[in-house]
Each structure stands twice: as structure tokens, then as C-alpha cells.
Amino acid sequence: MNVTKNIKETAKKLLADKKVDLVVGFAQGSLPLRSTPYFARTPEEAENLIWSATCENNLANFVRKRPEKVAVIAKGCDVRAIVGLIKEGQINKDNLTIIGVPCVGMVDRKQICELVGCKDILEVTDTGTELVLKGKDFEKTVAKADILFGSCKTCQYNTPVLFDELIGEAVPAREADYADIEAFEAMSAEERNAFIAKEMEKCIRCYACRQACPMCYCTECFVDCGAPAWIGKSAASVDDNALFQAVRVFHLAGRCVDCGACERACPMGIKLSLLNRKMVKDVKELFGAEAGVSLEDPPALNTFQFQDKEDFLL
Amino acid sequence: MIINKSEVANLLSKLACEYRVIAPVGKNGLVEFAVLKNGEEPRLDYINTKKPGKEILFPQSEELFNYTVDAEGVRMQDNVDPQATVVFGMRPCDVKSLVLLDNVFKNDQYEDVYYLTRRNNTLIVGLGCNEPAATCFCSSIACGPFSKEGSDIFLTDIGEAYVVEGISEKGKELLAKLGLAEASEAAKAAAAKRQQEVKADATVNIEGLSAKLGGMFEHPFWDRLHEKCLGCGACTYLCPTCHCFDIADEATDCNGCRVRNWDACMFPLFTMHGSGHNPRPGGKARWRQRLLHKFNYFVDRYNATACVGCGRCIKNCPVNLDIRQALADVRALD
């Protein structure tokens, strides 16, 4: 099935029939291995929509608090965020049409860059299961499955949990895999501290992680508050950088949909999802809860049940 | 003059006796400018450092002064940094960005002692680019992979060696002390060939753009340009010419310091008034500001475009909002 073709047709029809005012999806980006969020308002513009292994952004960001009727081309993690946002009163489901697209994972530009010694990639051909990367003086073929984002390799919700229409074949769910977090947990406190400090040393406080996160939508983030200044504003302080991430993780407890958008957005290549996934794993173990997988589940931290574990209380 | 690549480490050790030597080094998987440690070799095969060269003169976070309050009053200590410094191996785009920043930190209204003290005590050794990246468009914007503007000394990589040219008086004086060998005619010819032949993308046309943008403040173009922007600061922080900052006092009890931090016009807080009113309330106004500041206001004020075509904003934007495309779209408007 040609997913791109079907997306175009579906979007064109929705716009032509005036069912929606806007379709949010992806268009071809300006660089190889890049797609870019795209906003189609006419059937002609819908012709620019595409689907590929580079549609890495979480589009839930762009459908929050929209006044108009919107359709969104959404993969599994986008839909988890949308479900979370509907439950938090940020999206009116009546005004949103979800065009779900099952997703086997998006390819990670940073891993690909390392594979070719970070030389310029000038042309990429997608053969289905492989990418052929061409540069000025090299050509390399890589299996897509080997270069997926970490969050895609462990994704259990490849097929959207909620949709009005599904384009493409449903993808079977993977088994839960927290090997990365277990390895992190197995480290000593000193080792974990050293690891986090090394990562946070890279932070430039551009807040791309926060802005890319569909669930980070506070009108005023605590880091921006000047009175009281909860946190130092200087990026030179590794402790403050770590504090920013720590508070972000706590604020996302039971809300993080494990999409990895934060880590993908980070220009400095900080391994951010490790912290978030640790919280995701804890919430799952402690409360049996996962964010954004059902409209009915009560939010993990807004409910109390007698069987809730309390052994972490002092 | 000429220096073999194998002799660069020796040269830098020699320079380190008299100067703080800053050069690109590999760190945490990225290439960044750092003070060279004893015996550390610079990474001179890089395309662009992750963070721009501006951070050497205008650090992301800079403690301007420290203060202590006691019974006798307030004591202040200014943190002006006068250390003689050589920056070795900076790309022409980053060097050019410093020339542009000079306008901001030294003009008829203001002279910034912190920036200027560093600037006046820093000597820049520029390094031409034999292989500009696909995202580089310096050849479009009054710069280029072998632009020597702003360099005190300029290096051209001819394979086994760098051909070394003294550009400014300051650079020539230093070279006279270093006693490097004269370059052969063949080496000079090889360098000249590189300088002439290597070009980055020259297709971004900015001719007449400033005047056009100047009349576009109310144009509907801005309604959609920003739509996919997430509102982060990756483009501005990694831009070598963006220079906006915020000042914060960081204090505990009676001790504190005044810190200058990079700030970004992409953040709502940047323009938030004390009253709660925000004159740039959304992405539309912020992106308009970004483009107009670089390609219109700066041109009006300093007769130069505040972009050097390094491509960092293109490489690092999380949503691929490509400034080259934005400029082409402006050009295509009636």
C-alpha cells in the first residue's frame, strides 16, 4: 500500500468536503533524511503531504488548543500524546480527526551521521527495509531497523490506539523492553551521577526538549519564573541543567508518552529519554499505568487505589 | 609562510607560553572551542563547531561582576578578562561573525568593556574550508569558505601543510616572531587554487532583500512562516551572529554575581513586559523579528547582513525550518 498516496487522497477529501479546515502532516524537508511539519489548508496544498521513515516530529504539539477543525496525520506516539492531551482538556476531540498511520519506527539522523563519519549525506534512497546513503565520495546501505531512534526500538504502540481512519496495515505490538533503563539502574549512584553530569554539561538551555514535548505546555515554565527564581538561568551550571531536567521528568510523571521527541529535538545530543523512560517504567511498575493508551484510564497521579504501592513513602 | 601539519602541535605549545590558546577540540562527541590543555591536539578537520565562535568573546553565561554586602557597604569585583589569547583554526564564517558583533558591542551609543577587553586581547587565526557542508551558504552572504575578513592570520589547508598568511598588522607581528619557513611557489599556487575554486552554496540571493523586507511588516507572509516553529532557542543560541542577552543576579545571602546569559527572541519571556503585556505575543511576531533583525534592521543600522551562512540553524532546527527557504519565499513574493 502506498501510504503517502493514501494520505494525500484522504487529506484532499477532508479539505474538499470541508470536514476540516486544516490537515497537519509532513512534507519533504529541505535536507536528505528530513521531513518537516506541514499545514495543508487546501486540496492543492495536501498534494505536498508525504509519509516516510523521517517523519520524526510529534505532531500532537500542533493540534493543541486549535480553534478550527483539524485533521492530523498521526503515528502511534503522536496519538498517545493526543489521548493524553484530550484527557487534560487541551484538545477537543469533536474538532479533531485522527488519520492514524501505523509506524515501524523513524530513523535516527544522529546514528546515521556516525555511521558515515558525519560526512555530508547528499542523497538518500529508501528501498523499503534499507536506506542507501550517498555522499560526495561514499555510498552506504543500512538496514532501517538498525538505525531507529531508541524510543522507536522500544515502542509498544506502533499502531495508533485511537483513530478515525487508519492508513496502512496495523503493526503488531512489541514486548515491553526496558533493558536500557535496567542497565542504568544497575549502575551505582556515583556512576549514574557522573553519567548525568556528563550529559548535562552539554546543555545550552535552548529548551528544544521542552518545546518539542507535546505534554510540556505550561503557560509559564518554572525555569522562566524570575520571582521567585526557582533555578539559576546560567547554562554553565551542570547542577541547574540537571535540576531543569529532573523537574521536567517529575512534572511528566504519569504523563510522559515515551515518544522521545525531547531527545530528537536536542541539538546537543543529550540522552534525555533515559530519565523520562526511568519514570515511565517506575509509574508502570508502581501503579500499572501508562500514559496516553486509553481515553478511559484515570491519570496515574490523580487517583488513589488501596492496592497502590506505598513502600516508597518515608 | 608555511607550516607542516605535523608541526602544528609544537607551534601551539610555543604559543601557549605567551597566550591562552583556544582551538576546536573533540568533546563529548562534539567539536567545540576550548582552551587547549598542555599537549592537546586541536581538531582542524571539522566542518563547523557545534556552538558558534561567538562564545569565545561573548560566552553563553558570563559573570560580569561579583558583589558582597557587609556592614561597611557593598564590595564589587569586576570580572574583565584581559588575558592575551590566540584562537587557532576558526572558520571564516565564525570569524566574520565577530566582525559583525563588533558593531553591536562597540558603537556610538555603547561600548561593552567585557566584550571589547577580550576582543582587543585576542588574535584570530582563521582556517579556510576545503569542504563546505551542503548546509553552508557563506558564498551567498558577503563571506565565503576562504574569506579572510576579520582574521589576523589565515591558514589554507593544502594537504600536508597549511599555507600561512599574515593579514592584519597584529597577525604579521606575531608571524615575524614565530620564524615559520617561507612557502614555496608551488605551495602558494596550491593555496591560491583552493581559495579560488572552493565555493559554498552561492544561490541564496539577498540582493535587494533588505529593502523588500523593510516594507513587509504587515505582510500576510508572516502568518504562516512560523507555523511549524516550536519556539525553542536552538537556532538563535547556535547562530554566530545572534547576540541578545539577559542579565540576572544570582545571589545567596550577602554574596552574589551579576550574570549575562544568552537570550533568544524566540522565547515569549524575551519581550514580556512587567505589566504582563507582550508586544511579540506569538510565533508570528517572533519569526518576523528574527528575519527582519538579520536581514533588514541590522543592514539599516550597520550596513551589513547579520548572517554569515554557516548553516547551523538549518542543521539544528528540530522541525527543519530552513532559513534559506524562508528567504527564497520572501524573494518569490510579489
Q: What is the pLDDT of residues A60-119, one digit of tens each?
A: 999 999 999 999 999 999 999 999 999 999 999 999 999 999 999 999 999 999 999 889
B212 SS3 class: helix
Which pLDDT score is estimated for B231? 97
Smallest CA–CA distance from B251 into chain A, residue: A232
Q: For the range B267-274, what are the long-range contacts, defined as Cβ-Cβ under 8 Å and sequence gap of 24 or more?
A: B267/A207, B267/A224, B267/B231, B267/B233, B268/B231, B269/A224, B270/B244, B270/B246
Which pLDDT score is estimated for A206? 97
Residue to test with chain B: of A23, A28, A31, most B Cβ within 10 A = A31
B232/A212 Cβ within 8 A: yes
Which pLDDT score is estimated for A250? 95
Which residues in A lie closer than 8 A to residue B230 (C-beta atoms)?
61, 208, 211-212, 265
The predicted model scores a pTM of: 0.95
Which pLDDT score is estimated for A228? 87
Which pLDDT score is estimated for A229? 87
User: Which candidate from B248, B261, B320 shows the least CB-CB separation from A34?
Assistant: B320
Which pLDDT score is estimated for A115? 94
DSSP string across B223-292: HHHTTT----SHHHHT-SS---EEEEEEEETTEEEEEEEE--TTSGGGG--TTS--SS-SHHHHHHHHHH
User: Do residues B129 and B145 touch, judged by C-beta distance below 8 A?
Assistant: yes
User: Which candidate from B61, B228, B316 shows the least CB-CB separation from A234?
Assistant: B61
Average pLDDT for B276-291: 97
Separation between Cα atoms, residue A161 and residue A173, nearest integer Å: 11
Percent of chain A scored above 90 by pLDDT?
A: 87
A234/B134 Cβ within 8 A: no
Average pLDDT for B152-163: 97
User: Do residues A154 and A178 touch, judged by C-beta distance below 8 A?
Assistant: yes
Average pLDDT for A123-149: 96
- Write the pLDDT tens digit of every residue in A230-277: 998 888 899 999 999 999 999 999 999 999 999 999 999 999 989 999
* Radius of gyration from C-alpha coordinates of chain A: 20
Distance of residue A37 Cα from the nearest chain B Cα, in angstroms:
6
Which residues in A lie closer than 8 A to residue B28 (C-beta atoms)?
198, 201-202
Question: What number of C-beta contacts closer than 8 Å exist between A and B?
Answer: 110
B259/A212 Cβ within 8 A: no
Which pLDDT score is estimated for A314? 64
Which residues in B lie closer than 8 A to residue A200 (C-beta atoms)?
none
Q: Which among B284, B247, B272 has a CA at the least distance from the CA of B262? A: B247
- Write the pLDDT tens digit of every residue in B51-100: 999 999 999 999 999 999 999 999 999 999 999 999 999 999 999 999 99
Which pLDDT score is estimated for A310? 78
**What ipTM does the predicted assembly reach?**
0.95
Decide if pLDDT at A312 tops 90.
no
What pLDDT band is residue A304 in, cutting at 50, 70 and 90?
A: confident
Decide if pLDDT at A311 tops 80.
no
- Write the pLDDT tens digit of every residue in A151-210: 999 999 999 999 999 999 999 888 999 999 999 999 999 999 999 999 999 999 999 999
The identity of residue B314, as a single letter, is I
A265/B232 Cβ within 8 A: yes
Q: What is the phi/psi pair of residue B191, to 5°?
A: -65, -45
Average pLDDT for A24-34: 97
Distance of residue B135 Cα from the nearest chain A Cα, in angstroms:
8
CA A239 to each of CA A181, A245, B19: distance values in angstroms, whole numbers, following the listed order:
22, 10, 31
Average pLDDT for B163-190: 96
What pLDDT band is residue A301 in, cutting at 50, 70 and 90?
A: confident
Separation between Cα atoms, residue B130 and residue B45, nearest integer Å: 10
A234/B259 Cβ within 8 A: yes
Element (H, E) at B172: helix B169-178
Average pLDDT for A273-295: 94
What pLDDT band is residue B10 in, cutting at 50, 70 and 90?
A: very high
Separation between Cα atoms, residue A186 and residue A85, nearest integer Å: 34
Which pLDDT score is estimated for A1? 65
Separation between Cα atoms, residue B14 and residue B175, nearest integer Å: 12
Q: Going by DSSP bridges, is the β-strand pair A70-74/A22-28 parallel, antiparallel, or unpaired?
A: parallel
Which residues in A lie closer than 8 A to residue B315 (C-beta atoms)?
31
Decide if pLDDT at A305 tops 90.
no
Write out the three cell numbers for A267: 541539538
Distance of residue B43 Cα from the nearest chain A Cα, in angstroms:
14
Q: Which among B54, B56, B87, B79 has a CA at the least distance from the CA of B244? A: B54
Write out the three cell numbers for B67: 558583589
What pLDDT band is residue B271 in, cutting at 50, 70 and 90?
A: very high
Distance of residue A18 Cα from the nearest chain B Cα, in angstroms:
20
Query: First and final CA of chain A: distance in angstroms?
Result: 55
Average pLDDT for B16-39: 93
Q: How many helices (H) and strands (E) does chain B have?
A: 13, 11
Which residues in B lie closer than 8 A to residue A37 (C-beta atoms)?
227-228, 319
Which residues in A lie closer than 8 A to residue B30 (C-beta atoms)?
202, 268-269
Decide if pLDDT at B211 tops 80.
yes
B232/A31 Cβ within 8 A: no
Give the Cβ contact number of residue B273 at 10 Å: 8
Average pLDDT for B4-33: 94
User: Which candidate from A34, A122, A234 shows the least CB-CB separation from B261?
Assistant: A234
How does the average pLDDT of chain A come out, rounded? Answer: 95
Which pLDDT score is estimated for B81? 93
Smallest CA–CA distance from A62 into chain B, residue: B228
Residue length of chain A: 314
Distance of residue B126 Cα from the nearest chain A Cα, in angstroms:
22
Distance of residue A206 Cα from the nearest chain B Cα, in angstroms:
4
B232/A234 Cβ within 8 A: no
Which residues in A lie closer than 8 A to residue B238 (C-beta atoms)?
204, 206, 267
